[in-house]
Structure 1
Amino acid sequence: MEIGPYIKLHRIKQEMTQAELAEGIVSSAYLSKIENEKTEASPNVVSLLCTRLGIQLDNSTDEMIREKLQEWFGILSSEHDQADIVRLYQELDELMYDNHSADGLVMFEIYKIRYFLVIGDMDRALSQINKLSEMAGNFDSLHLFYWYKFKGNYNSANNEFNQAMRMYKLAEEKLNQLDLSKEEVADLQYTIAVTHSKLRNTLEAIDYADKAIATYQITYNFTRCAQCHIVLGISYRRIRMYDKAIKNYNLAKHLGELKHNEQVIQLTNQNLGYLYSTVGETEKAIYHYEEIIKEEGIFFFERILAKTSLIKEYYNICHYDKAKEMVELSLELLQEVDDQDTFQLFYYITYTYNYAINQEAEKFESLVIDEFIPFLKKHKDYANMVIYANMLAQHFEGNNRYKESVKYYKLANSTYEELISL
């Protein structure tokens, strides 16, 4: 890294203005030229600027820092224990502060974005992006690759998938300028495949998942292979190639079992359950959802999703005792939630079926009409809109309220048309 951008990075890290750093040494305009490599500063000026920043140019620890950086970069991109990730970050942060080695400093600062996302600190991730934005004009091709990729990760974590795709595509454009490992390229391809899937760009998702899986197969990265098969399964289900979808889901499940990866296994069960529910094979759907709730070690989201899915399946086959049992289990689980907004959908599903099973018509109508359907419209959740508009229509039809019934059948039909056009 050149000395000008190095000084600029430390100035930004310390939240110092150009005027504050330059005072008594050089003019602010001249400092700007130094930082942006438009002029070469004398050794004396460089020394004075570094002294004010409290840094020294010392390459004696470069090799050791390089090794630790590579170790940290590696575990950030893998399924590694978070305590190790945090420990190594703290160690590196202290080394960078004490030794001020220029080599790897920019990459460390860029990787902090990824680190904050891994530990779930979205605010610090955004703060780091904003802090580095002023530096981006000095990044080389390698820096830009990770800059775009991790900004895309941030956008994706915020459900801003169009913006995430734009960042990933900018990262992809840098690949022909870099000599990255096949695994690194495949990781970007997998990430793009997932983002295309989120955007419902089905054919593009298949294309990128196939590219990524070709690498993961020869590098024996079975976990990533499984995740690619899940993306392929979702994509083939969407275009109603159900046999290919089931084949990919089963391959994912097999690889998950080989690696003893419960998250992959249960994600596959969830997707198989959804597929069989879609094609009307309720017993098979129930089997896969039941497999999920047997495993207590999985994440909260997967557990509540499986239980609410079982409520729907049992209700649809008029197995109301089992549906009521699942409602009670779901309500117990939701009592553990602190952030109700995140799991609002599951509250609505659970209480909708609770009122329907108990034949509390007034509460059922009020909840679905006044709260649930507006919530689904706001979040553009068309799949659930179809389900609950139909449920409401059938409820009114069963009570000989045909005008209201027609209204919600029409809503279900128009929503379905919107869904299949995506």
Structure 2
Amino acid sequence: MEYGKVLRFHRVKQGLTQNQLADGIISPAYLSKIENDQTVPAFEVLELLYERLGLDFLETSSNHPSKEKLKEWYEAIAFKRQEDAKRLKEDILNQKETQENHHLYIFFELFRIRHLLLENEVDEAYKAWENIRQYKDTFDEEMEFYYHLGSGLLKYYQGDFDNSFQELMEAKNYSSSINLEDWEFSDLYYLLALSTSQANHISASVFYVDQALEIYQSNYDLAKSADCHILQGINYSRLKNYAKALENFHLARKIALQTGNQNQLRLVFINIGTLESRIENHESAIINYKKSLEYHDSESEFQEYDYLTTIHGLIIENYRLGNKTGCLEWVHKGEEKLETFPSEAYSLHFEVYKKVINHSNNLSKFLEDTIIPFFQEKKEHIYVIRYAMFLADILEEQRMYKKSSTYLRLAIQLLNKHSNLGGILL
């Protein structure tokens, strides 16, 4: 057993310095060597150190409680079985050893990060991550794997996709030296696929999706296979291989219809709508966007945001078809949703189209002073591109050619840098 790591864990947890723990037993320097596993002390010394920490030396050193319940909880989290995850968490918290045993406590806290993210409690997940970091030098390789995987997920939820990918790659490096089940490898590959897709490393994402899909299909996991097909559809859409993208979306749709997965059906139709919009099949885009709304769940915060995204898509497609009445109808529906689910970004989107349709005199000023700076600050490049091109056209009509070319250059620069934008991810 690694006595040093256990001692350091409980010392830090209780807020003691090395001087305080070592006082009257051994020197602080010798305690430091024990904690760093540079020496193995006599049992008498260990007993005294454990006693000062309020631990039972014999119980702690000879009995190691099983992690089976914790791994069962983690599996429920990874497969998004939220009710099972809540029940198992309560069962684990009722076990005294969870908080008192170094090994179990570390795994509980590492798994709790992912559970909090599942519940969309990102700030609390970050606090849990900050807490567990102080014990990092007591981690074994298995703990390192889950630490980096949790760090990667946390950064993904925070929108830091490049660093999410780097953390997940660190997890992958540890995965080869520990015992993982097949589903954990496929889970890791899928998360790598998500992060690389969002970071615009599309070829890497295609590779990792294929890795994950192979395992999911071999285990007859239909739901996860559908998730992979949706992500792969987005990847191929970004690569402008629209036939391959549609093939994957339709495979996902077929599976989701078999399993009755409403969320996957919603995502399939949103993404087909996005694809059709990109290739300027505006009527088809509208049909698919409307279809996605049939599977909307207003109790999900993520789906509420996607609902606004879909409404925005319907506004754009109706505008492109010259259907101003239809465009305004969807603007009003979007504004109704904003009353119960506020969003500054979508409020601005909807305001732009109201001003366009009503021929507002201050439209160009609104775009220049409010809209473009807002989305630049948010680093939402796709909207900066769209509104900069829109403004460039307006300024050109007003014969303000120099200013028009400035915004056109901005749009082209961003378009060249972020040519793979598009698609709603899971």
Question: What is the TM-score of this pair, normalised by structure 2?
Answer: 0.89
What CA distance in whole angstroms lies between the structure 2 residues aligned with 1:186 and 1:285?
A: 32
Deviation per CA, 1:37-77, whole angstroms, max 9, x where unpaired?
122233333233333323325379855x5332222122121
Shifted more, 316-325 versus 405-414: the winner is 405-414
**CA shift at 1:405, angstroms?**
4.4
Q: In the alignment, does 2:114 pair up with 1:114? A: yes
Shifted more, 396-405 versus 8-17: the winner is 396-405
Q: Partner of 2:325 in structure 1?
A: 321
**CA shift at 1:231, angstroms?**
1.7
Distance of aligned partners of 1:370 and 1:151 in 2 relative to their CA distance in 1, 3 Å threshold: same
What CA distance in whole angstroms lies between the structure 2 residues aligned with 1:418 and 1:158?
A: 22
Distance of aligned partners of 1:161 and 1:418 in 2 relative to their CA distance in 1, 3 Å threshold: closer
Shifted more, 353-362 versus 202-211: the winner is 353-362
Q: In the alignment, does 2:42 pair up with 1:42? A: yes
What CA distance in whole angstroms lies between the structure 1 residues aligned with 2:164 and 2:325?
A: 45
What CA distance in whole angstroms lies between the structure 2 residues aligned with 1:53 and 1:115?
A: 30
Q: Partner of 2:424 in structure 1?
A: none
Distance of aligned partners of 1:333 and 1:145 in 2 relative to their CA distance in 1, 3 Å threshold: same
The AA in structure 2 aligned to 1:78 is F
What CA distance in whole angstroms lies between the structure 2 residues aligned with 1:80 and 1:14?
A: 34
Where in structure 2 are the equivalents of 1:32-181 lying within 5 Å?
Answer: 32-57=32-57, 58=59, 62=64, 65-82=66-83, 84-96=84-96, 100-101=100-101, 104-181=104-181
Shifted more, 95-104 versus 26-35: the winner is 95-104
Is this contact kept in 1: 2:216–2:225, CA < 8 A? Answer: yes
Distance of aligned partners of 1:249 and 1:98 in 2 relative to their CA distance in 1, 3 Å threshold: closer
Q: Partner of 2:310 in structure 1?
A: 306
What CA distance in whole angstroms lies between the structure 1 residues aligned with 2:136 and 2:336?
A: 49
**CA shift at 1:96, angstroms?**
4.0
What CA distance in whole angstroms lies between the structure 2 residues aligned with 1:294 and 1:421?
A: 28
Q: Partner of 1:336 in structure 2?
A: 340
Deviation per CA, 1:355-382, whole angstroms, max 9, x where unpaired?
11222231x2232111111122233333
Is this contact kept in 1: 2:364–2:395, CA < 8 A? Answer: no
Deviation per CA, 1:266-312, whole angstroms, max 9, x where unpaired?
11111111110010100110011111223341521111111111111
What CA distance in whole angstroms lies between the structure 2 residues aligned with 1:286 and 1:139?
A: 52
Distance of aligned partners of 1:145 and 1:259 in 2 relative to their CA distance in 1, 3 Å threshold: same
Q: Partner of 1:354 in structure 2?
A: 354
Q: In the alignment, does 2:231 pair up with 1:227? A: no
**CA shift at 1:410, angstroms?**
4.1
**CA shift at 1:319, angstroms?**
0.8
Is this contact kept in 1: 2:141–2:177, CA < 8 A? Answer: yes
**CA shift at 1:400, angstroms?**
5.8
**CA shift at 1:402, angstroms?**
5.3
Greater RCO (Cα-Cα under 8 Å, separation 6 or more): 2
The AA in structure 1 aligned to 2:158 is N
Is this contact kept in 1: 2:80–2:118, CA < 8 A? Answer: no
The AA in structure 2 aligned to 1:328 is H
**CA shift at 1:347, angstroms?**
1.8
Is this contact kept in 2: 1:34–1:40, CA < 8 A? Answer: yes
What CA distance in whole angstroms lies between the structure 2 residues aligned with 1:127 and 1:81?
A: 21
Gaps of 5+ in 1: none
Distance of aligned partners of 1:143 and 1:421 in 2 relative to their CA distance in 1, 3 Å threshold: closer
The AA in structure 1 aligned to 2:329 is E
State the percentage of identical aligned residues.
28
Shifted more, 150-159 versus 394-403: the winner is 394-403
Is this contact kept in 1: 2:266–2:296, CA < 8 A? Answer: no
Distance of aligned partners of 1:407 and 1:176 in 2 relative to their CA distance in 1, 3 Å threshold: closer
Where in structure 2 are the equivalents of 1:230-309 lying within 5 Å?
Answer: 230-297=230-297, 299-309=303-313
Q: In the alignment, does 2:214 pair up with 1:214? A: yes
Q: Partner of 2:393 in structure 1?
A: 394
Is this contact kept in 1: 2:183–2:216, CA < 8 A? Answer: yes
RMSD: 2.5
Q: Partner of 2:189 in structure 1?
A: 189
Secondary structure at 2:297's aligned position in 1? coil
